[in-house]
Amino acid sequence: MIQIRAIATYSHDGRQRVVPFEPGRVNIISGDSRTGKSAILGIIEYCFGSSEIDVPEGKVRRNVAWFGLLLQTRRGQAFVARQLPKGDRKSNEAVYVQTDIEVEIPPASALRQTTNREGLRSLLGSWVGLSDYLHEPPPGQTRVPLAATISHALTFCLQSQNEIAQRRHLFHGSSDRFLAQAIKDTLPYFLGAVSDDYVAQQQELKRVRVEIRQVERRLAEAAAIRGEGVGRADTLLAEAKAVGLTKLDDSAPWQEKISVLRMIQSTPIPSEATEVGEDAEFRRLSVVRGELVQEQRALQSTLERARSFEGNSVGYSAEAREHASRLNAVSVFEHEAPGHSCPLCLQGLPEDSQVPSIGDLRAAQNYIDERSGAIDSATPRIATAIQDVETKLADVRRRIEDNRVMLTAVKRANQRLQLATDIEARRALVLGRISLYMENIPQMPDVSEQQARLKELRVKEAELDEAVSADTIQAKMESCLSNVNRYLSDYAERIDLEYSNFPLRLDPRALSIVADTPDRPVPMREIGSGENHVGYHIVAHLALHTWFANRDRPVPAFLLLDQLSQAHFSPDSAPSEGVTQEKIDADRKAVKRLFGLIFDVVESLNGKFQVIITDHPDFSDDTRFQSAVRERWRNGLKLVPEDWPSEL
């Protein structure tokens, strides 16, 4: 909630002019033309952070250094002041802000820059209660998302003398199509059709959709890792079922299929041929074959060890001979050398020297000669043993081949044995294929938790999507407008506007008032007379602010109306040719009805709403009007005193 307690202007030489207002009441400044009344709207807008100053060129623009507003907020009071642009510039970033429970309007000497325009807008947004609302344009539109700001809220609080009698544009600045679109986009939020819960739900929906995409991506990656594994596993299971290795149903989940394949791989396969039991010779030959295979394996192992030993012996002999050749050099030295002497010069060496003596070298030579001789004598025996093992291995292989021939002959003579052997071979083939598949299959992550999470997120997405859907917002919007339209029709009827006997409604698409007559809807632009246009502007804004105040919406709780009597009469009107006293009296009554309605609405809201009116009339016979007049700008009294100097 923001209302205005005072407007302050500061001269270039440090003087100050304060215009006071009362929160929660009607405040009237009555005065002559060219006294600065219309500049008040531009001052308020400039001090609310507008990008450019919209104060007419003249004394107010050239003889003032700072504009200031004393504001009443929920937290206390705040004084904001903004320096006027210098020269031909349109804006100035120098902003002064002071807050407290109660704030005294500071002198000019205290004004300095404490923030900039964006900082001011952020502060004003927080004081009025704006949340981080972001309007997302419908899919397919090129407009960027729009955040609701204090400038959008201020649209409902100002009516200049050029706007209040407009028949085509209802809101401040809506003649600009971009601003008009911004009003349409943010109106649902300011009315309450889009609440703070909606904003939170919208953000939560975005987060949920991001998480859904992440989970889907992980599941897709798992499916890509699996690749054609599902079809390959199904093929192998079909083959395993064909040879009696499993009975798993085709509809089983992937993980169960993999488990069954692992079990088949690790389970020994029984021999069908040994279970037939009708041919003793076949069983005897099978037993013999098994024994021969075992004997063959034993002989192969013995042969491998012998060949390894033979290789090591040959290597040792070669190294020993090489070492012995190097030691043969000791023969050039004397057989005896006194003490610990050098083998070459026979000069004595220190006792702690590590040089071996000639005796040590001769002893090493003798040791190597003995060992290499033993190895050389053993080598022919190793070769003989290897030859014996190879002879036995060849004999076993011959006997295995003979056994195979006899088994084949027995199987051919027995059809059942042939069938059993075929099944056994098929099972072995399937088992081999399964083993190869299981060895090469990638390690599959367990995606059951991810699938459960995805299901949960989709349910939550559906709930949030319904909560923030366009249909839901439209239904809430229609409900809000229905209440606003109720106030609109009531207020229009009380001041006897044309078409007030028909249902009236605020059209959010056209940003206008529409009267629903039995024949057709009649928009405000087709309703005649400036009196009706002014009246509809006033009742529309009063209806909206009644709704804003009762619902505590984030809109400044004041309305400035500039020159609302302009469509009725001039303050200097007097009976003359074509203008009768009766006409003047009728106009006065119409204007007083407007003022009376404003007084009634403000009083009914019990301090939640403030109206500031700048106009010419001064109804001396109306006590409520007289009590609401804050200043009369006549007889030389103006917003900016005449003796203030221009820019120094």
> Residue 309's pLDDT is what?
67
Q: Which pLDDT band, with edges at 50, 70 and 90, does 450 fall under?
A: confident
| 2-11 vs 16-20, strand pairing mode | antiparallel
Q: Which pLDDT band, with edges at 50, 70 and 90, does 276 fall under?
A: very low
Structure tokens at 389: 């093992």
Res. 444: pLDDT tops 60: no
More confident residue, 204 or 515: 515
> Residue 364's pLDDT is what?
65
Rounded to whole angstroms, how far apart are CA atoms 601 and 25?
Answer: 10
- What are the tens digits of pLDDT across the range 554-599? 999 999 999 888 766 554 454 555 556 666 667 788 889 999 999 9
- How many Å is the Cα radius of gyration of the chain? 53
* Contact by Cβ (8 Å): 567, 508: no
Q: Provide the angle, in degrees to the nearest 10, between the axes of the packed helices 530-551 and 470-494.
A: 120
* Single-letter amino acid, residue 382: I
- What are the tens digits of pLDDT across the range 491-520? 999 998 999 999 999 999 999 999 999 999
Give me the long-range contacts of 85-92 (CB less than 8 A, separation at least 24): 85/53, 86/647, 90/51, 90/52, 90/53, 91/51, 91/52, 91/53, 91/117
Rounded to whole angstroms, how far apart are CA atoms 13 and 581?
Answer: 49
> Lowest-confidence range among 246-255, 433-442, 474-483?
433-442
> Residue 411's pLDDT is what?
61
> In Å, how far are 27, 73, 109, 308 from 4, measured between CA atoms?
10, 9, 23, 106
The mean pLDDT of 269-283, rounded to a whole number, is 58
Q: Which pLDDT band, with edges at 50, 70 and 90, does 466 fall under?
A: confident
Res. 446: pLDDT tops 50: yes
With pLDDT > 90 as the criterion, what percentage of the chain qualifies?
A: 40
Burial class (CB in 10 A: 0-12, 13-18, 19+), 200: middle
> Residue 374's pLDDT is what?
53
* Contact by Cβ (8 Å): 421, 408: no
Helix (H, G, I), strand (E, B) or coil at 473: helix
| 26-31 vs 629-633, strand pairing mode | parallel
From the list 158, 212, 147, 179, the residue with the least C-alpha distance to 462 is: 212
Res. 453: pLDDT tops 80: yes
More confident residue, 364 or 464: 464
From the list 16, 63, 20, 67, the residue with the least C-alpha distance to 46 is: 67
The residue ranges of every structural domain in the chain are 201-268+446-461, 279-346+355-413
> Residue 300's pLDDT is what?
83
User: Vertex 157, ends 66 and 32: CA angle to 5°?
Assistant: 65
- What are the tens digits of pLDDT across the range 370-403? 555 555 555 666 777 778 888 888 888 888 887 8
Q: Which of 240-244, 432-436, 545-549, 564-568 has the highest average model confidence (pLDDT)?
A: 545-549
> Residue 507's pLDDT is what?
94
More confident residue, 600 or 256: 600
From the list 558, 547, 575, 561, the residue with the least C-alpha distance to 609 is: 558
Q: Check residue 634 and report its DSSP letter.
A: -
Res. 278: pLDDT tops 60: no
Q: How far is CA 537 from the centre of its chain?
A: 41
Res. 334: pLDDT tops 60: no
> Residue 423's pLDDT is what?
66
The edge-to-edge listing of strands for the beta sheet with 26-31 is 158-159, 558-562, 610-615, 26-31, 629-633
> In Å, how far are 117, 145, 556 from 122, measured between CA atoms?
9, 18, 14
- Return all residues near 314 (Cβ < 8 A) that are at least 6 apart: 379
Helix (H, G, I), strand (E, B) or coil at 135: strand
> Residue 195's pLDDT is what?
72
> Residue 193's pLDDT is what?
87
> Lowest-confidence range among 69-83, 447-461, 630-644?
447-461
More confident residue, 632 or 237: 632
Give me the long-range contacts of 273-282 (CB less than 8 A, separation at least 24): 273/417, 273/420, 273/421, 273/424, 275/420, 276/414, 276/416, 276/417, 276/420, 278/414, 278/416, 278/417, 279/410, 279/414, 279/417, 281/410, 282/407, 282/410, 282/411, 282/414, 282/417
- What are the tens digits of pLDDT across the range 110-149? 999 999 999 999 999 999 998 878 787 877 777 888 889 9
Q: What stretch of H or E contains 17?
A: strand 16-20
The mean pLDDT of 436-460, rounded to a whole number, is 75
> Lowest-confidence range among 53-67, 231-245, 539-553?
231-245
Rounded to whole angstroms, how far apart are CA atoms 291 and 287?
Answer: 6
Res. 348: pLDDT tops 50: yes
Q: Check residue 518 and report its DSSP letter.
A: S
More confident residue, 544 or 563: 544
The mean pLDDT of 204-233, rounded to a whole number, is 75
> Lowest-confidence range among 482-491, 533-542, 581-590, 595-604?
581-590
More confident residue, 30 or 466: 30
Topology (CATH) of 279-346+355-413:
Four Helix Bundle (Hemerythrin (Met), subunit A) (1.20.120)
Q: What is the 3-state secondary structure (H, E, C) of 186-248?
A: HHHHHHCCCCHHHHHHHHHHHHHHHHHHHHHHHHHHHHHHHCCHHHHHHHHHHHHHHCCCCCC
Helix (H, G, I), strand (E, B) or coil at 65: strand
More confident residue, 297 or 448: 297
- Alpha-carbon dihedral of residues 634, 635, 638, 642, nearest 10 degrees? 170
Structure tokens at 550: 């009762």
- What are the tens digits of pLDDT across the range 352-376? 655 566 666 666 666 666 555 555 5
Beta strand extents in 480-555 (DSSP E only): 504-507, 512-516, 521-523
pTM of the model: 0.65
* Single-letter amino acid, residue 439: E
> Residue 100's pLDDT is what?
94
The mean pLDDT of 634-638, rounded to a whole number, is 90
